[in-house]
Amino acid sequence: MNETSIETFPNPEPNRRYIITHVNPEFTSVCPKTGLPDFGTVTVRYVPRQRCIELKSLKYYYLQYRNQGIFYEAVTNKILDDLVAACDPEEMTVITEWRTRGGIHSIIEATYKRPNTE
Amino acid sequence: MNETSIETFPNPEPNRRYIITHVNPEFTSVCPKTGLPDFGTVTVRYVPRQRCIELKSLKYYYLQYRNQGIFYEAVTNKILDDLVAACDPEEMTVITEWRTRGGIHSIIEATYKRPNTE
Amino acid sequence: MNETSIETFPNPEPNRRYIITHVNPEFTSVCPKTGLPDFGTVTVRYVPRQRCIELKSLKYYYLQYRNQGIFYEAVTNKILDDLVAACDPEEMTVITEWRTRGGIHSIIEATYKRPNTE
Amino acid sequence: MNETSIETFPNPEPNRRYIITHVNPEFTSVCPKTGLPDFGTVTVRYVPRQRCIELKSLKYYYLQYRNQGIFYEAVTNKILDDLVAACDPEEMTVITEWRTRGGIHSIIEATYKRPNTE
Amino acid sequence: MNETSIETFPNPEPNRRYIITHVNPEFTSVCPKTGLPDFGTVTVRYVPRQRCIELKSLKYYYLQYRNQGIFYEAVTNKILDDLVAACDPEEMTVITEWRTRGGIHSIIEATYKRPNTE
Amino acid sequence: MNETSIETFPNPEPNRRYIITHVNPEFTSVCPKTGLPDFGTVTVRYVPRQRCIELKSLKYYYLQYRNQGIFYEAVTNKILDDLVAACDPEEMTVITEWRTRGGIHSIIEATYKRPNTE
Amino acid sequence: MNETSIETFPNPEPNRRYIITHVNPEFTSVCPKTGLPDFGTVTVRYVPRQRCIELKSLKYYYLQYRNQGIFYEAVTNKILDDLVAACDPEEMTVITEWRTRGGIHSIIEATYKRPNTE
Amino acid sequence: MNETSIETFPNPEPNRRYIITHVNPEFTSVCPKTGLPDFGTVTVRYVPRQRCIELKSLKYYYLQYRNQGIFYEAVTNKILDDLVAACDPEEMTVITEWRTRGGIHSIIEATYKRPNTE
Amino acid sequence: MNETSIETFPNPEPNRRYIITHVNPEFTSVCPKTGLPDFGTVTVRYVPRQRCIELKSLKYYYLQYRNQGIFYEAVTNKILDDLVAACDPEEMTVITEWRTRGGIHSIIEATYKRPNTE
Amino acid sequence: MNETSIETFPNPEPNRRYIITHVNPEFTSVCPKTGLPDFGTVTVRYVPRQRCIELKSLKYYYLQYRNQGIFYEAVTNKILDDLVAACDPEEMTVITEWRTRGGIHSIIEATYKRPNTE
């Protein structure tokens, strides 16, 4: 996986600290234990520095997980790592909310803050 | 664009710090990449100093974007810049929330604080 | 206007700091520019000292605005001034939320804090 | 207007009477009286015969109204006429629901039934 | 009252039976018993013949009730009578829904059908 | 009980068949088995003939049940009987919806139609 | 199972056809296949003849399923059979709505009508 | 009133600071001015020390207000005083939310903190 | 596709006409035009005769579409055909509701009725 | 009870402080006083250190309470103790929300923080 790269474009207002949020309610991956699909909503919220995430490439990045086996906790942290690597933000939070499995639904939330910032 | 100026009127209570919010759920502009329209809700929240934003001129200001190509991040920051220039507030936040494109919906939030305030 | 005075009654627990909220979703006044009625919800939230606002007189106080021309920002600040004068609270917030005009709806929020308090 | 034609494709199940609904909450046209934009949701519901409406061409068909002046009642009937002409259905209903103007919101609903049907 | 007349315009599609609905959530009149204001939502739904109701004149028609004393049942029937007289429809329904008074909220629904129709 | 009589007033439009609904979400009576209070919403919907139910007397009528022991099924039928006796309508429906007791909530719906009508 | 009998009481208005509904959102039984609990809402709606279902005994009747293995379709029909046997109604409908299992939620609806009725 | 005492039981985890909330949407008392019933939701939230409030006795405590005349502000503070006296908590908040009276609904919120705590 | 067969089990109450509904909000297939995934909710509602659909095999049947390219109209009719073939019901309806594509969301509804029934 | 152990797996990102939430709306236990079942939603939110809670074993852990008599306050604290013992987290909060009993619904919230942390 991960052959599709996340594209970025120059932040139109790099001198102002502002917040960008992208919500994808159509995320799906595969449970590595059961082989059955998982469905969830992935929310990315970040403060850009020099680069912003390009929306269409983000969509294709998410599509790569469609048939990949990966646990909730791992995919949340991996999305955060990949997006931080792509756009080097001031800070970024990734929240994944999963549909009910075995009567339980789960939410994972991970945050990155740039070292030595502010 | 921007031929229509944002009008203002004197703040009726300039000695009290209070908050004014205007929500426009009928904002539309054009995606510069695809030429297709974008639809969103624009929320402006500010603490006035000497001048308040006149509501009708705000409506006409928004109408100027109807056939203009501009990205989410850029239009959010431009609205903030234009409105700050028009009324010189203590502080102002502009939030744009966009309808789903490619299965993803986005929210951009930018804030201005007057230098040397408080 | 303002011939109707806001009545008050003794705070039954003046030694405890507590919060009283009154929400009126049936407020109406007149736009001074167009002569057309405005409709809104007025919320008053305060910490009483010696006196509490009597609910029925508050209703009649609001009725006085029914045919009066006054702007959003002005009426919000005036209600705050009148109610503070009537009951001398520790602090009070008035929030007015207005129905859509020209596709935009507005919210005004003003707060009073008693000097030298706390 | 109407230079963009509505495309169709062969109904995959012409022997079964079934119902197709397409909901577009991003419709906008222009009020011929005020020159200001109108915003609404257009719902098309039909029973196909030999041809189904192609979704992408429907989107482009709607875009043609973006800068056209036309009244609620007229645009609802025109969409019905155009779509009936394009796909010759057993029956079709078009419902337009419009955002508040002057404190009033409106809904128009028009239905076509094929003559000598059933 | 009733000095303001309801204006109409030619039905753009007089040969098709279709339905027009106008919803006004900002109706207010006065209770003749208590002198206090009543607030409600008025919905008008009709099948036009030769004439449609013009929206702006409908708004002004409703404004005439703002300071008039009239009971729920009477005002509902009067609006129906006035609008039927103005546009001579195939059929029309007026529904008024009133905010809580004395812990009870009320809904009145009256319908007109043109004699010898259908 | 039943010392308070339900008052009526002349139907302002006795020649038109129309529908009046009164919803009281603040009904309370007492369970005859446990002595504990029951809480519910009572909805009355009727087509008037010569007389309409006066709203304030309806409120006082409901208050009579506050400390009376009576079962769901009985109180629903009794309200219907009393209101039919008071105003002699074309038809009337009484619906009572009760808050959860023992994990179960209940709804009772009874209808009266005038004999030899229509 | 079924040791607990459903109790009934005399219908207070046997001459009027009216509807009684009892909703239990706390039903639970056990899946006979997996041994895992199922959770659902059971709604019973019926027109009584001579006897009404007593609410407390209904609650205890439902409790009998708590540790019993039974399929959705079977339990719905069994509840209907048992309640019809207990109170001999004009007609009765039982609806069971089940929480998600394997990403799918299910609803079963069964109706009894008394032979030779109406 | 107040003949019914609030019962308590030993806190099962007195060494951990945790929060208990009880919400009663079926509270009713009487307005001392009009003699008419008031309806509201009472929420109690507290951090227990040695004793927890027993739920059934709390229900009976609330029932004592059913026919008692008392103002919103007074009843809120009295419930707080009585419950604090009964269980001596670290801290406790009582919130009462009242149904609309004269078009206005009210919320009262009072908090107790144990002296010398934390 | 279709290697996975839909399993059935004997209807526990073949003499009663009743309704079974299974709702799957986690359906996904692929758009044959764009290669991008579609997401939707599939609802199956049927009256069984001798056989009921087994829930787990239904889940696996739906999974077969995960990477298959197929249009909305075609997949709806195909699911109906396959399920009718599997369990030979009195009647069956399949409804597919699809997430927004190009600003438009769609609903397809197809019904089968057994010939010579009732 | 407690024969079923809670299983854990290695935290895939032990160097990042992130939050995991599991919500179970299908929890049921038995009231020790009445012997009747209680129903609630149990939410567990924690910051993992070396181990994460395995979801399937959590489901089976909850099932152990199905026929056990235990009070709200006790079960909330016991779940917290058991889960902390199982995975040794940085911090953990357990919230139990219970369905209405005697007209009152309750919420219990308990938090653990690891000593000498942060």
Per-residue pLDDT reduced to its tens digit, F2-43: 456 899 999 999 999 999 999 999 999 999 999 999 999 999
CATH at H31: 3.30.1130.10
Q: What's the helix, strand, coil split of chain J in %, to 5? A: 20, 40, 35
| Predicted confidence pLDDT, tens digits, chain H (118 residues) | 445 689 999 999 999 999 999 999 999 999 999 999 999 999 999 999 999 999 999 999 999 999 999 999 999 999 999 999 999 999 999 999 999 998 999 999 999 999 975 4
E98: Cα within 13 Å, side-chain hemisphere? 27
Which chain C residues are closer than 8 Å to H76 by Cβ? 18
Give yes or no for residue B3 having a pLDDT over 60: no
| Inter-chain touch A23–B108, beta carbons under 8 Å | no
All partners of chain I with 3 or more CB pairs under 8 angstroms? A, B, D, G
I66: Cα within 13 Å, side-chain hemisphere? 20
Which chain G residues are closer than 8 Å to A100 by Cβ? 99-100, 103
Which chain C residues are closer than 8 Å to B20 by Cβ? 72-73, 106-108
Residue D71 lies in a domain: yes
Question: What are the tens digits of pLDDT across the range I13-61?
Answer: 999 999 999 999 999 999 999 999 999 999 999 999 999 999 999 999 9
Mean pLDDT of D62-71: 96
Work out the pLDDT band at C4, boundaries 50, 70, 90: low
The per-residue pLDDT for I3 is 55
- Which residues, at least 6 apart from G101, have a Cβ–Cβ distance to it below 8 Å? G31, G38, I55
Nearest Cα residue in chain F from H60: F36
What's the alpha-carbon Rg for chain E, to the nearest Å? 15
Q: How many domains are there within chain G? A: 1
The per-residue pLDDT for G12 is 96
Give yes or no for residue C2 having a pLDDT over 80: no
Question: What are the tens digits of pLDDT across the range A56-91?
Answer: 999 999 999 999 999 999 999 999 999 999 999 999
Question: What are the tens digits of pLDDT across the range B52-102?
Answer: 999 999 999 999 999 999 999 999 999 999 999 999 999 999 999 999 999
Chain mean pLDDT for chain B: 94
Question: What are the tens digits of pLDDT across the range B35-50?
Answer: 999 999 999 999 999 9
Work out the pLDDT band at C3, boundaries 50, 70, 90: low
Query: For residue G97, which phi and psi values (nearest 5 degrees)?
Result: -120, 125
Task: Report the C-alpha gap between C56 and C46 in whole angstroms.
Answer: 17
Which chain J residues are closer than 8 Å to A72 by Cβ? 20
Nearest Cα residue in chain E from D107: E21
Cross-chain CB nearest to B99 (options I39, I99, I103) = I103
Question: What are the tens digits of pLDDT across the range G70-88?
Answer: 999 999 999 999 999 999 9
Stretches in chain E below the pLDDT threshold 50: 1-2, 118
Give yes or no for residue F117 having a pLDDT over 60: no
| Inter-chain touch F28–H37, beta carbons under 8 Å | yes
Residue D96 lies in a domain: yes
Work out the pLDDT band at G116, boundaries 50, 70, 90: confident
Nearest-neighbour CA in chain I from D65: distance (Å): 15
Query: CB–CB of G44/G78 below 8 Å?
Result: no
H helices present in E5-70, as ranges: 55-63
Mean pLDDT of D9-28: 97
The per-residue pLDDT for I4 is 67
Which chain F residues are closer than 8 Å to J103 by Cβ? 39, 99-100
Residue I90 lies in a domain: yes
Task: Report the C-alpha gap between J100 and H23 in whole angstroms.
Answer: 9
The per-residue pLDDT for J80 is 98
The closest of D59, D29, D63 to D44, measured between CA atoms, is D59
The per-residue pLDDT for B4 is 67
The per-residue pLDDT for D116 is 75
Give yes or no for residue D66 having a pLDDT over 50: yes
Cross-chain CB nearest to I28 (options A25, A28, A99) = A28
Task: Indicate if D38 belongs to the active site.
Answer: yes
Q: Kindly list the averaged pLDDT for each block of 10 residues, start to end, along chain J of length 118.
A: 78 96 97 95 98 96 96 97 97 97 96 81
| Inter-chain touch D39–C100, beta carbons under 8 Å | no
All partners of chain J with 3 or more CB pairs under 8 angstroms? A, F, G, H
Query: C-alpha H56: how far from its chain's center?
Result: 14
The per-residue pLDDT for G2 is 47
Give yes or no for residue C1 having a pLDDT over 90: no
Give yes or no for residue D25 having a pLDDT over 60: yes
% pLDDT > 90, chain I: 92
The per-residue pLDDT for J1 is 44
What are the E-state strand segments in chain A?
8-10, 18-30, 37-47, 51-53, 91-98, 105-113
The per-residue pLDDT for E4 is 67
Q: Could you tell me the residue range of the domain that residue I86 belongs to? A: 8-113
Task: Indicate if C38 belongs to the active site.
Answer: yes
Query: For residue B60, which phi and psi values (nearest 5 degrees)?
Result: -70, -35
The per-residue pLDDT for J38 is 97
Task: Report the C-alpha gap between G92 and G94 in whole angstroms.
Answer: 7
The closest of B77, B74, B2, B70 to B36, measured between CA atoms, is B70
Residue E71 lies in a domain: yes
Residues of E with active-site annotation: 31, 38
Question: Which pair of structure tokens corresponds to residue B91?
Answer: 């502080």
Residue B2 lies in a domain: no
Residue D2 lies in a domain: no
Nearest 5 degrees, angle CA A93-CA A98-CA A102? 145
Q: Which residue has the tokens 């019809």?
A: G84
Task: Report the C-alpha gap between E90 and E47 in whole angstroms.
Answer: 5
| Inter-chain touch G106–I19, beta carbons under 8 Å | no
- DSSP β-bridge partners for residue H78: none
Q: What is the DSSP letter of E118?
A: -
Task: Report the C-alpha gap between B29 and B69 in whole angstroms.
Answer: 6
Residue J118 lies in a domain: no
Work out the pLDDT band at C116, boundaries 50, 70, 90: confident
The DSSP line for B25-41 is: EEEEEE-TTT--EEEEE
The residues on A that touch G, with CB distances below 8 Å, are 39, 99-100, 103
Whether C contacts A, i.e. 3 or more CB pairs less than 8 A apart, is no
Nearest Cα residue in chain E from D97: E21
% pLDDT > 90, chain G: 92
Residue A12 lies in a domain: no
Nearest Cα residue in chain C from E98: C26
